[in-house]
Structure 1
Amino acid sequence: MLLGLQGANVALVDLHKPQQVLDEVEKLGGKALASSCDVQDGDALEAVMENVVQHFGGIDGAANMAGILGSQGIKGQGHAVDRVPDGEWDQILGVNLNGIKNSMHAELRHMKDGGTVVNAGSVAGQPGLPFMAPYCANKWAVLGLTQVAAQESGIRGIRINAVAPGVIRTPMIQGAATDSELYDSLGFRTALKRLAEPEEVARVIVFLLSKEASYITGAVINIDGGFS
Structure 2
Amino acid sequence: MATPQIFANRVIAVTGAAQGIGLAVARYLAARGANLALADVKRKELETAHEQMSKDFPNVETTTTVVDVSNTHSVNEWIAETKQTFGKLDGAVNNAGILGKWAKITDLKDEDWQRVQQVNVGGTMRCLRAELKIIEEGGSIVNLSSVAGLTGFPGLSPYVVSKHAVIGLTRCAAKEAGPRNIRVNAICPGPIETPMLDEVYAGTALPKPPIARDGNPEEIASLVGYLLGSESKYTSGACIPVDGAGYAC
Shorter-chain TM-score above 0.5: yes
Hey, what's the Cα distance between the residues in 2 that align with 1:175 and 1:226?
22
1:187 CA drift (Å)? 4.2
- Separation in 2, partners of 1:175, 1:85: 19
- SS class of match (1:59): coil
In the TM superposition, 1:132-171 aligns within 5 A as 132-171=156-195
Which deviates further from its counterpart, 40-49 or 95-104?
40-49
Give matches, 1:113-132, under 5 Å: 113-132=137-156
Match of 2:206 in 1: 186
- Contact 2:95–2:143 under 8 Å retained in 1: yes
What residue in structure 2 maps to residue 216 of structure 1?
A: 235
Cα distance, 1:176 vs structure 2: 4.5
Aligned mates of 1:213, 1:20 — CA distance in 2 = 32
Q: Matched residues in 1 for 2:49 and 2:199: separation?
A: 20
Distance 1:176 1:221 in 2: 21
Deviation at 1:206, TM superposition (A): 1.2
Amino acid at match of 1:108: L
Aligned residue number for residue 21 of structure 1: 49
Residue identity in the other structure for 1:204: L
Q: The residue matched to 1:177 in structure 2 has which SS?
A: helix
1:69-108 Cα offsets, whole Å, 9 max, x none, are: 1121xxxxx22x2331111100100111000000011111
Identical-residue share of aligned pairs (%) = 36
TM-score normalized by the length of structure 1: 0.91
Q: Give, in whole Å, the separation in 1 of the partners of 2:181 and 2:52.
A: 32
1:62 partner letter: A
Matches of 2:47 and 2:132, distance apart in 1: 26
Alignment-mate amino acid for residue 35 of structure 1: T
CA RMSD of aligned residues (A): 1.4
Amino acid at match of 2:93: A
Distance 1:24 1:210 in 2: 25
Q: Distance in 1 between matches of 2:80 and 2:114?
A: 28
**Structure 2: which 5+ residue stretches go unaligned?**
1-26
Cross-structure match for 2:129: 105
**1:135-183 Cα shifts (integer Å, max 9, x gaps):** 11110011011000000000111000000000111012224536xx87x
Give, as a single letter, the amino acid of the residue that structure 2 aligns with 1:53.
K
Alpha-carbon distance in 2 for matches of 1:20, 1:203: 23
Q: Distance in 2 between matches of 1:51 and 1:108?
A: 15
How does the TM-score come out when normalised to structure 2? 0.84
After TM superposition, where is structure 1 displaced by more than 6 Å over at least 4 residues in a row? Answer: none
Unaligned stretches of 5+ residues in structure 1:
73-77
Distance in 2, Cα, partners of 1:193 & 1:162: 24
